[in-house]
Structure 1
Amino acid sequence: MRWDTVDFVIRSAAGWFFRARNAESWIFRGAVAVLIAIHGANWAFSYSGPIWGTPGTVEIGTAGTIPDGILWGVTMVCALLMIGSAVWAWRRYSDEQERLSRKKVFVIEGRGLRDDDGSPLKAAVPDSIIGTRMDYLLDVRQRKDGLIVEPEDLLQPIGTMKTWLHQAQKGNDRSDLTTVYGGLTAVPLTFLTGVLLDDEGDVVVMDWDRTASRWRLLDGSDDGLRFQITGIEEAGSAREVVLAISASYTVKSEDLATTFTHPVVRMTLRDSQSSHWSQARQSALADQFLGILKQLDAMGVDRIHLVLAAQNSVVFNLARRYDKRNLPKLIVYQYERAQEARYPWGIEMPVAGAPAARVVHLARAGTQSHTG
């Protein structure tokens, strides 16, 4: 037997004996205490030799205080209790290990904005999320740093990711499954990923902390900052509107004018530099987003052109709130600063009856073509 195995067993046993607070550990400790007490009560000390210059014998002890029949009867009961509590503890441990072995954590990492491997999301998932890690790299890079040249080629990898997740979940109880998502991908691709994962229950979302250069949970506090809504009245009876969301940067009117001719509704965080590291805050922003979508739908809007300047986790959480059956058609656009039309292409989402996502190219304001 290897020494590290022996060391693990000793440490585990000591930890269970001294720190565990379950019933069997208390029974075991109680039995040990009784054994120490009763056997410690039967002791004797004998001395034979000179005592102040005179030969003599001294005997000190409590031997015989507890009759042997009672002593060994209690010893037997305590031994049985110790054996029984040890078996009980082992059964509890085995059941817990079996339960943990059923738990699975599906880690989906999207890579697309930079052509490097970086720090893997799987390694950053905290130990508090229990289960066997199964990671999936959603690779939507095209080997040109920060530039997407053929967006049509990137739809299939996202669909393949969804298929992989469904296959991996088969035969498992949903209560044993956890999905973790984090990514650095273009806005339309992130939004599409969120739309496809909207029915996966609670998804743990992580984001890349550029300051600390590491993946991080949305574990910050809610500062109470919310979107300010403008332009909803100007939408009037328009069948198509542009919904411009400014969370990390301001969506400029002059950039929108290079691509769109529709009325513009804005959702703006006045302090675009404020922290987005609060799940509670992002949930509240997503609620606002859903509320505006419902309002536009009630006004008769048939298609929404969505322009987003936001962190990856914000885009993903907004996408998961989109009701695929009851809200208008939706195209989410990619911003390209170097092009004449600042939003040259977008992805029409598989919502409102659209069977699959497809790429929409815009050559100039007011014209579009569908591919993909």
Structure 2
Amino acid sequence: MNWNTLDFVVRSLVSWFVRARHAESWIFRGAVAALVAIHGANWVFKYSGTIGGESGSIEFGTAGAVPDSILWIITVVCIALMLGSAVWAWIRYANEQKRLARKKVFVIEGRGLRDDDGSSLKSAVPESITGTRIDYMLDLRQRKDGVIVEPEDLLPPVAAMKTWVHQAQKGNERSDLTTVYGGLTAVPLTFLTGLLLDDEGDIVVMDWDRVASRWRLLDGQDDASRFEITGMEQAGAQREVVLAISASYMVKTEDLATTFDCPIVRMTLPDLQSSHWSQARQSELADQFLGVLKKLDAMGVEQVHLVLAAQNSVVFNLARRYDKRNLPRVAVYQFERSQERRYPWGIEMPVAGVNVARVIQTDEGAARFPERT
């Protein structure tokens, strides 16, 4: 028995023991207990000996204690309660099935960094997320394993994913819909996906656990680790800045120098080996991210070159926090260690009046935003 199987068995047993029991279940059990008590084996307690200094005996039991007429009345009432609770349970079950039939779970899995199919996200969605599973494969793979060769070709599939979500939601109450996202895609494409899905209501984010080789919920404990922010003083009165976020690896200054020539603001976790498996922690990091962007906007920054070294779920959740109307223009860049220019391309996000995402190539000169069209 492997660890995943044992984990499933333990969780299932615990869920069964602590499961909520409805009122009809307690009524049924009480009626059965009453029938057993009045129709079960008779019992007698008898004591003979000294009582108050005098000899005597005490005897009591169930035999003949209750008249037959009362026994039959109690029996009829108990049977009626059992039948009523059974009908009640069936009605509850039927209503629950109708409710579950209305509930839908849209499972969006992004694939792009590896060519193999691997374990599907749909099969890893926990049973606690109820509803009919409808999966969508956001396939962002190209010819070379782990390398994006034509980033422009990958923008339409992301836009198509957004259209699919809108079509799938039609005719459904938002309270009946849940979206589950998990992916292994390039950072700019992950950020774009999160940005487009930011207003899709209840989204459950999962990530790939490389140690356990399985999809996992963000169910860890918050270790209270937060970004350390530096370089804000250098951004004053600047039109463009680089915002370098180091959450899993350090974004190196020498790598940034190959592509950018503007001031650098850094958001760095003090321990890059710390666990990212806490939704609460990621929410706090996203709040810090939004706070820095608001400050940059207040300082007059108009364009942000965003460089992220972070896990897929972190990138996705940061993107969901971006205010598309009120924050500066932003482009997110792809890191390629093997190239002389470490950030050869990026994607300008559809924010701040930019209607559609577009690719920025940095082959010649420092990275620059294209002129508005």
TM-score range normalised by the length of the shorter chain: 0.7 to 0.9
1:200/1:39 Cα in 2 relative to 1: closer, same or farther (>3 Å)? same
Q: Deviations over 1:143-162 (max 9, x none)?
A: 21111111011001111111
Q: In the alignment, is residue 227 of structure 1 matched against residue 242 of structure 2?
A: no
For 1:20 and 1:340, locate their aligned partners in 2 and report how far apart those are by CA, in whole Å.
60
Are residues 1:278 and 2:281 paired? Answer: no
Instruction: Give the superposition deviation at 1:216.
Output: 1.1
- Aligned-pair CA distance for 1:199: 0.5
- Report the structure number with the largest CA radius of gyration: 1
What are the Cα deviations for residues 21-58 of structure 1, in whole angstroms up to 9, with x where unaligned? 43222322333333334434799xxxxxxxxxxxxxxx
Q: After TM superposition, give the deviation of residue 219 of structure 1 in Å.
A: 1.3
Determine the structure 2 residue equivalent to 1:265.
265
Query: What's the counterpart of residue 85 of structure 1?
Result: 85
Q: Distance in 2 between matches of 1:39 and 1:226?
A: 67
Query: How far apart, CA to CA, are the structure 1 residues paired with 2:199 and 2:62?
Result: 73
Separation (CA, whole Å) in 1 of partners of 2:323 and 2:20: 47
Within a 5 Å distance, the mapping from 1:1-372 to structure 2 comes to 21-40=21-40, 68-366=68-366, 368=368
Distance 1:37 1:254, change over 3 A: closer
Q: Where in structure 1 are there 5+ consecutive unaligned residues?
A: 1-15, 44-60
2: distance between equivalents of 1:223 and 1:26? 42
Indicate conservation of the 8 Å contact 1:209/1:215, yes or no.
yes
CA distances 1:187-225 after superposition (whole Å, capped 9, x unpaired) = 000000000011012311111111111111111111221
2:77 & 2:215 partners in 1: Cα distance? 55
What is the identity, as a one-letter code, of the residue corresponding to 2:304? I
Cα 1:40–1:149 shift into 2, 3 Å: closer
Contact 2:24 2:89 (C-alpha < 8 Å) held by counterparts: yes
CA contact (8 A) 1:41 1:63 kept: no
Counterpart-to-counterpart distance in 1, 2:367 and 2:84: 79
* Segment of structure 1 superposing worse, 105-114 or 23-32: 23-32
Counterpart Cα distance in 1 of 2:224 and 2:206: 20
Check the 8 A contact 1:245/1:268 in 2, yes or no.
yes
Is the Cα contact below 8 Å between 1:42 and 1:66 reproduced in 2? no
Length-normalised TM-score, structure 2: 0.85
How many angstroms apart in 2 are the aligned matches of 1:104 and 1:146?
Answer: 32
SS at match of 2:338: coil
> Considering only aligned residues, what root-mean-square deviation do their CA atoms show, in Å?
2.3
Structure 2 vs 1, CA of residues 160 and 233 (structure 1 numbering), >3 Å: closer, same or farther?
same
Distance change (3 Å), C-alpha of 1:105 and 1:366: same
Separation in 2 of the partners of 1:105 and 1:340? Answer: 44
What does the per-residue CA deviation read over 1:66-115, in whole Å, with 9 as the maximum and x for residues that have no partner?
A: 55544434333332222112111111111122222222111111000011
**Inter-CA distance 365–232: structure 2 relative to 1 (3 Å threshold):** farther
* Aligned amino acid, residue 213 of structure 1: S
Deviations 1:324-368 (A, max 9, x none): 000000111111112221111110100001111111111133255
Are the counterparts in 2 of residues 341 and 364 from structure 1 also a CA contact under 8 Å? no
Asked whether the 8 Å contact 2:237–2:300 carries over to 1, the reply is yes
TM-score, normalised relative to structure 1: 0.85
Q: Could you tell me which amino acid in structure 1 is paired with residue 192 of structure 2?
A: L
For residues 196 and 348 of structure 2, the distance between their equivalents in structure 1, rounded to whole angstroms, comes to 13
Structure 1 distance, partners of 2:71, 2:232, is: 87
Structure 2: 5+ residue stretches without partners: 1-15, 44-60
Structure-2 change in CA distance of 1:88 and 1:254 (3 Å) = same
Shift of 1:259: 0.9
- Given that residues 362 and 369 in structure 1 are in contact (C-alpha distance below 8 angstroms), is that contact kept between their aligned partners in structure 2? no
Distance 1:84 1:362, change over 3 A: same
CA distances 1:167-193 after superposition (whole Å, capped 9, x unpaired): 111121211211111100000000000
Equivalent-residue separation in structure 2 for 1:219 and 1:73 (angstroms): 54
Answer yes or no: is the 8 Å Cα contact 2:260–2:366 preserved in 1.
yes
Cα gap change, 1:276 to 1:69, in 2 (>3 Å): closer
